[in-house]
Structure 1
Amino acid sequence: MPSFDVVSEINKPELANALHQANKELSTRFDFKGTDARVESNEQSLTVFADNEFQVKQAVDVLCLKLAARGIDLACLEYRPIEEIGGGKARQILLLREGINSDLGRKLVKQIKDQKLKVQTAIQGDQLRVTGKKRDDLQAVIAFLKQADAGIPLQFNNFRD
């Protein structure tokens, strides 16, 4: 029986490349000369450091341009407020949203069922599995999910006949 998975993932190598490019641009830009503007990453978030709130906003703009150029959807970022840290410095934390949480999964399952297509949808951890007898029904679900606003970027993997 044909099936596919609906997932929300971030391409980690492209993310690393975008961070490297953003840091390189921040170190060479004239308006950031002599500052400690940089972007650091850990497993679930990105942290933008700069000397003041304005420079943090500028650094986030540079980062967003680099992410978009590398094909990473900016909807996967959750922006936290800019914080003042000691020594006249500021930072902003950007959370990376990956996976389909259970609330969003239930919402997507309901929307798919409302389309009256002959498919079955199951939540499997942080992804959805959609199965059906006809390939055309599965393609209709993909088309529907592409135009639906899920709030996070969705990818479609493991299409099997």
Structure 2
Amino acid sequence: MPSFDAVSKVDLQEVDNAVNNTVKEIATRFDFKGSKTEISLDKKTKVLSVVTESEMRAKAVRDMLIGNFVKRKVDTKSVEFGDPKPAGGSLMRLECKIKEGIEKDVAKKITNLIKESKLKVQAQIMDDLVRVTGKKIDDLQAVMNLLNGADLPTPIQYVNMKS
């Protein structure tokens, strides 16, 4: 029976490349000359940390990161920025979490969308992915088009297609 998995994954290497591009851009920008701006990415916890001197610079770094994420084809829906907070002294800290996996409420929304479409497929929630099975590959492709057109808070990729 044909099936596929709907998942939400982020390529951490592309995130790392975007961070490195942002670091290079900060080094060449005139408004950051002589500033104490540091960006670090913890790949295990998937947290990006920016430490800089002012809230204005923290927002400028956030905008540069978003631009570099778009250039590297990292979906900005999978990146959640916090608010700049004091980090001791005159420094500000901006934390950013990289979200992977489909949350339970989003998975329920996906399964409800599929059921409301009246297609002859079944959707199952399995941990952080949604498995869709059906008798026809055309129905599965219709589900993919439906999910691509839906306004979901997380980016969706399709893996493990079996016929």
TM-score by length of 1: 0.96
CA contact (8 A) 1:26 1:38 kept: no
How many angstroms apart in 1 are the aligned matches of 2:5 and 2:16?
25
Moved more, 38-47 or 56-65: 38-47
Which residue does 1:65 correspond to in 2?
Answer: 67
Cα deviation, residue 28, structure 1: 2.0
Which residue does 1:40 correspond to in 2?
Answer: 40
* Amino acid across the alignment from 2:36: D
Deviations 1:100-138 (A, max 9, x none): 011211111111101000001111110011010001100
Q: Which runs of 5+ in 1 are unaligned?
A: none
Q: Which runs of 5+ in 2 are unaligned?
A: none
* Amino acid across the alignment from 1:126: D
Which residue does 1:160 correspond to in 2?
Answer: 162
Which residue does 1:27 correspond to in 2?
Answer: 27
* Amino acid across the alignment from 1:151: P
Once the two structures are superposed, the pairs formed by residues 1-161 of structure 1 within 5 Å of their partners are 1-42=1-42, 43-161=45-163
* Amino acid across the alignment from 2:6: V
CA contact (8 A) 1:5 1:130 kept: yes
Moved more, 20-29 or 141-150: 20-29
* Amino acid across the alignment from 1:117: L
Deviation >4 Å, runs of 4+: none
* Amino acid across the alignment from 2:7: V
Deviations 1:47-83 (A, max 9, x none): 1211100000001111111111000011111121110
* Amino acid across the alignment from 1:9: K
How many angstroms apart in 1 are the aligned matches of 2:83 and 2:51?
13
Q: How many residues align?
A: 161
* Amino acid across the alignment from 1:47: S
Structural RMSD (CA): 1.0
TM-score by length of 2: 0.95
